[in-house]
Structure 1
Amino acid sequence: MTHCTLGRPLGRECGIGADMGDYRRVSELQDTSPAAPGSPAGRTPAAAPDASGQPPVKPVIAAAAAKRANASVMGMIIALVVSIAAFLPIVLMNPAPKTDGYRPNINVSAVAQNAAGVAGFTPVAADTGDTFRANYARWESGAGSGVPAWEVGYLTPKDSFIGLVQTRQANPTWLLQQTKSAPVTGTRNAGGRDWELRDTGKGEKSMVLAERGTTVILSGSATLDEFSSLAAAVAKSLESNPPAGEPVATPGATDSPSASPSP
C-alpha cells in the first residue's frame, strides 16, 4: 500500500494514486450523463420514419384550370341544346306518313291462268274480296325442292300472313318441309272440307287438304278463324276448277277450223 505525506508527495506511487482517482471521476461523469430529450434513459433514440411511409400527396387542380374545365363542359351542353332546338322544328314539320305503305296489286286469277299450262292443273285463285290481300302469286319450278308448286301469299285482316302452296307431286318429305315438321293436332272444317290441322306450338300453323288430284297447304301465324276464312275461299275455287290431269284451257286459246280435205 502506498502512503503519501500531506502537502508533499514522497514518491512515484503517490502520483499514480492521484491519477487513478481522476480517471474514476471522469468515468462516473460519463455514466451519469443526461439522456436525450424525449427518449427513455439508457435507450438509443428511435430512427426517423422512412419517407416512403408517408401518405401520398393528392394533386390539387389550380382554380384557373378547374374553371376552364367547367367552361368546356358547359359549352358542350349549350351546343347540344342549340342543335336539338334547330332540328326539332324540321322533324315536327315532316310527320310520318299515315298510309300503310306500298301494296302491290296482284291479280291472282290472271297469274293462275298463265301458270295453268305449265302446272298441268288449274291453280286455285281464291276470291277473298277485300278481306285478304295477295302480295305475290307465282309458279315455282321446284328446282330446289324437286316439287313444282303454285304459291300465293296473303296478308290477313289482322296483318298476319298465310302462304298457300298447291302441287300435284306432293311427297312426305316435301310435306314436312312445308309444315315445318309440325305434328297433326286434329282436323278443322272449312268450306265443307275437313282440313288436316298441324301446329308447331310456337305460333306457326298449317292446314292441309288433298282434293281433286292436288295437295293444298295453308301455313302461317294467323288466327284459326282467319285460316278458316281463307280455306273456305280456297275450297270454293277448287270446286270450280277441273281435276288435275284433265285438259286445261289456257288464255287466248281458240278452236281453229279444220282444213277441208282437198279433192
Structure 2
Amino acid sequence: MTSTEPEQSAAPSAGVRRPPRRQSVSGIVLTMLVVGGFALGLWALVPRQSGIPQPAVDVGQAASGLQDQLGFAPAVPTPGPGWTATSTSAEAGVDGVQTWRVNYATPKGSWVSLVQGREATRKWEGVQVIDGAEQGTVAVDGRTFVVRARPDRQLTGYVLRDGEVTTMFVGKASRAEIEALVRATPLR
C-alpha cells in the first residue's frame, strides 16, 4: 500500500514553539511564601518562656557555716512573696575584702543584691555600685544609709557603714523595692 500523503513526523514543526517558562519564577515565589507561612505557623504554636528560669536558692542554707570564712555572720533576708533569691556567693572580693552576696529578682521583675563586706575599702564599695556618686542619705528602719547612684545605668545603692561590716543593697529596682529588702534583712 502506497500513500501519497506525506508522513507526519512525531517531532513538532519548526514553526510551533513552546511558550517560555515565565511562570517558574512566580512558582518559586509562591512556594517560598507557602513554606514561610507554614514555618511562621509552627513558630507561633511553639510555647516560649519569657526568660531563663532560675531555681530558687535557699539563702539560709547557703549562709550557714560561712561565719568563719567571712569573719562575720552573713545577713539572711526574708523578703516575702514575689521575691526570688537567684544566687549567693561568698568570696574574697576587691582588695581581698571577704564578701557575701545574695541576688534577688523582685516582684516587679527587676533585681536587687545584698552585699556585705568585712573591713570594706572605698574601692570595694565603688565596685559594687560601679563608682556611683554619693547622693545624700536615707533613713530606713532607724538606720541611716548613704545613697550612691549611677543614673546613667539606673543603678542605686544604699550603703550602711557599720563598724567592721559594710552592708549594701544595690540594684536596678525602685527605691521602694530596695527599701523593702532593707526592711526584710536583719542586721546586727
Q: TM-score range by the shorter chain?
A: 0.7 to 0.9
Q: 1:92 to 1:177 in 2, by over 3 A?
A: closer
Report the counterpart of residue 204 of structure 1 in structure 2: 155
Report the counterpart of residue 5 of structure 2 in structure 1: none
The one-letter amino acid paired with 2:187 is L
CA contact (8 A) 1:187 1:197 kept: yes
Report the counterpart of residue 229 of structure 1 in structure 2: 180
Report the counterpart of residue 54 of structure 2 in structure 1: 103
Q: Tell me the secondary structure at the aligned position of residue 114 of structure 1.
A: coil
1:139-158 matched pairs, under 5 angstroms: 139-142=90-93, 145-158=95-108
Q: 1:90 to 1:172 in 2, by over 3 A?
A: closer
Q: 1:92 to 1:183 in 2, by over 3 A?
A: closer
Is 1:170 the equivalent of 2:131? no
Structure 1 unaligned runs (5+)? 1-63, 240-263
Is 1:77 the equivalent of 2:29? yes
Structure 2 unaligned runs (5+)? 1-16
Structure 2: how far apart are the matches of 1:110 and 1:80?
56
Is 1:190 the equivalent of 2:137? no
1:45-124 matched pairs, under 5 angstroms: 67-68=20-21, 70-97=22-49, 101-124=52-75
TM-score, L = length of structure 1: 0.59
More strand by share: 2
Q: CA deviation at 1:178?
A: 1.7
Structure 2: how far apart are the matches of 1:125 and 1:192?
19
Structure 1: how far apart are the matches of 2:119 and 2:92?
12
Count of residue correspondences: 171
Q: 1:213 to 1:96 in 2, by over 3 A?
A: same
Q: CA deviation at 1:205?
A: 1.0
CA contact (8 A) 1:192 1:232 kept: no
CA contact (8 A) 1:191 1:233 kept: no
CA contact (8 A) 2:95 2:123 kept: no
CA radius of gyration, larger in: 1
Runs of 4+ in structure 1 deviating by more than 6 angstroms, as ranges, are none
1:119-130 matched pairs, under 5 angstroms: 119-130=70-81
- Measured against aligned partners, the alpha-carbon deviations of 1:38-81 in whole angstroms (never above 9, x if no partner) come to xxxxxxxxxxxxxxxxxxxxxxxxxx9x943x323202212112
Structure 1: how far apart are the matches of 2:42 and 2:122?
58
Report the counterpart of residue 85 of structure 2 in structure 1: 134
TM-score, L = length of structure 2: 0.80
